[in-house]
C-alpha cells in the first residue's frame, strides 16, 4: 500500500470510534505522487571591453515542479466554535501529509566583469539581482506562513533563502617579486625563500538581507494547530524615515493579532532583515622544494574587519522581544594551513 491510512472506515460505519493517527505512524503520503523535476533556461551575452576587460550579462531562470512539500491534513477550516466540527473528519486528529504539488520559480539578472593583468593580478566583480518564489523552501518543513492547508496560495511568497541583491568582488594577486618574476628575478635561493613566492587573495561580499514573516504566535484562527499563522498588519512596517536599530528593526505598533477565527493579512517573508557585509583575506607563501613540488603556507582570515552582521529580528507577537535583533553571524576567524602541491 503506497500510503498510510488514518483509520479504517466502511459504508455501514463511516465514522468509526478510532481517533488519532494510526499506531506507529505520524505521516501520510499521497498515493498519486509524481516525480519532481526542475527546468532551467538562460540567455547571455559577452563583450570584450577596452583594457582587456570582459563583460558578461546573463538572464538566468529556473522552475521546480511537482516538488515535495509537507503540510497538515484534516485541519479545521477557519472559523469559530468547535474545532472538531470544522474538520473534514470530525473524530480524527490533524496529521502530517506529504505530496508533490509544490512549485518554485527563480529569475535573475547576472552581470560579471573580469580582467587579468600581466603583473599577476586577476580581478572579478559579479552582481546578481534575483527573486525566488515558492510555497515552501524545505521539503521536510511545513508549508510557510500562514500554513493554511485549504488555501496553499496564501503561503506563496519569497523563498526563505531569497536574497534580492548580491555583489561579490574577488581578486588573486601573485606578487611579481622573486626568482623568475618581474622584480628581483635573479636573486639567490636564500633571499627568494624570504622575499619571493608571496600571493594574496580576497573576497568582498555585500548582499541584502533575508526575508521573514511576522507571526501571530498562537492559534488565533482556531485551526487546532499553530501552523505559522501570520499577524494582522495595520500600517507600513518600515515607514519613510523610520530609523531601524537593533532594538527596533520595524514598527511593532504596525501589527496586532487578527480577529479570533480569522487569518492575518500579512504575507510570507515580506520584510527584509539586516544586510550582510564581509571581507575575507588570505596571505600565502609558496616554497619551491623541487621543480614540480611546492609547499604552501596559508593564513586565511574570515570577516577581516570583524564587522557585525546581525540576524533577523524576533518576529512573533507573542515574544517579549518582538522586533528586536538578538543574534549575529560569526565574528572574525583566522586559520592557518599547510599544503603540499605537486
Per-residue pLDDT of the chain (342 residues; tens, 9 = 90+): 334 444 555 656 555 555 444 444 456 788 888 999 999 999 999 999 998 999 999 999 999 999 998 888 888 999 888 898 898 888 778 888 888 989 999 999 999 999 998 888 999 999 999 999 999 898 888 788 888 888 989 999 999 999 999 999 999 999 888 877 777 777 777 787 788 889 999 999 999 999 999 999 999 999 988 878 999 999 999 999 999 999 999 999 999 999 999 999 999 999 999 999 999 999 999 887 777 888 999 999 999 999 999 999 999 999 999 999 999 999 999 999 998 888
Report pLDDT for 2: 38
In sequence order, which residues have a C-beta less than 8 Å from that of residue 242 and are 6 or more positions away? 250, 251
237 to each of 69, 138, 311, how far by Cα in Å? 30, 27, 18
Residue 180 carries which DSSP code? T
> String of b and e for 88-103 (b: at least 16 CB within 10 Å)?
ebeebebbebbbbbbb
Report pLDDT for 224: 86
34 to each of 97, 104, 137, how far by Cα in Å? 15, 16, 19
Report pLDDT for 195: 83
Place of cell 517579549: 320
255 CA to centre of own chain:
25
Q: What is the distance between the terminal CA atoms of the chain, rounded to a whole angstrom?
A: 56
Report pLDDT for 40: 97
Amino acid at each position: 500500500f503506497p500510503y498510510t491510512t488514518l483509520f479504517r472506515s466502511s459504508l455501514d460505519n463511516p465514522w468509526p470510534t478510532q481517533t488519532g493517527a494510526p499506531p506507529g505512524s505520524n505521516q501520510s503520503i499521497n498515493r498519486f505522487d509524481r516525480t519532481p523535476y526542475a527546468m532551467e533556461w538562460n540567455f547571455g551575452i559577452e563583450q570584450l571591453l577596452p583594457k582587456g576587460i570582459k563583460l558578461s550579462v546573463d538572464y538566468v531562470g529556473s522552475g521546480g515542479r511537482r516538488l515535495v512539500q509537507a503540510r497538515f491534513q484534516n485541519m479545521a477550516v477557519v472559523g469559530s466554535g468547535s474545532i472538531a466540527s470544522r474538520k473534514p473528519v470530525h473524530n480524527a486528529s490533524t496529521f502530517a501529509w506529504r505530496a508533490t504539488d509544490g512549485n518554485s520559480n527563480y529569475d535573475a539578472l547576472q552581470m560579471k566583469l573580469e580582467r587579468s593583468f600581466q603583473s599577476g593580478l586577476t580581478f572579478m566583480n559579479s552582481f546578481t539581482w534575483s527573486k525566488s518564489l515558492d510555497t515552501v523552501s524545505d521539503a521536510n518543513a511545513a508549508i510557510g506562513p500562514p500554513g493554511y492547508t485549504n488555501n496553499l496560495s496564501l503561503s506563496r511568497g519569497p523563498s526563505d533563502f531569497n536574497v534580492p541583491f548580491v555583489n561579490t568582488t574577488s581578486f588573486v594577486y601573485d606578487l611579481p617579486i622573486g626568482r623568475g618574476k618581474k622584480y628581483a628575478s635573479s636573486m639567490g635561493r636564500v633571499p627568494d625563500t624570504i622575499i619571493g613566492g608571496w600571493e594574496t587573495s580576497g573576497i568582498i561580499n555585500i548582499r541584502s538581507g533575508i526575508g521573514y514573516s511576522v507571526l501571530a504566535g498562537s492559534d488565533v484562527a482556531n485551526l487546532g494547530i499553530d501552523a505559522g499563522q501570520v499577524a494582522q498588519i495595520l500600517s507600513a512596517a518600515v515607514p519613510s524615515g523610520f530609523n531601524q536599530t537593533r532594538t527596533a528593526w520595524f514598527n511593532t505598533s504596525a501589527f496586532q493579532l487578527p480577529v479570533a477565527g480569522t487569518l492575518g493579512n500579512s504575507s510570507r517573508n515580506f520584510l527584509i532583515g539586516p544586510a550582510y557585509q564581509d571581507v575575507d583575506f588570505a596571505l600565502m607563501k609558496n616554497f619551491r622544494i623541487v621543480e614540480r613540488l611546492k609547499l604552501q603556507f596559508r593564513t586565511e582570515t574570515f570577516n577581516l574587519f570583524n564587522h557585525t552582521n546581525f540576524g533577523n529580528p524576533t518576529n512573533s507577537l507573542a515574544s517579549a522581544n518582538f522586533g528586536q535583533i538578538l543574534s549575529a553571524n560569526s565574528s572574525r576567524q583566522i586559520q592557518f594551513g599547510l599544503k603540499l602541491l605537486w
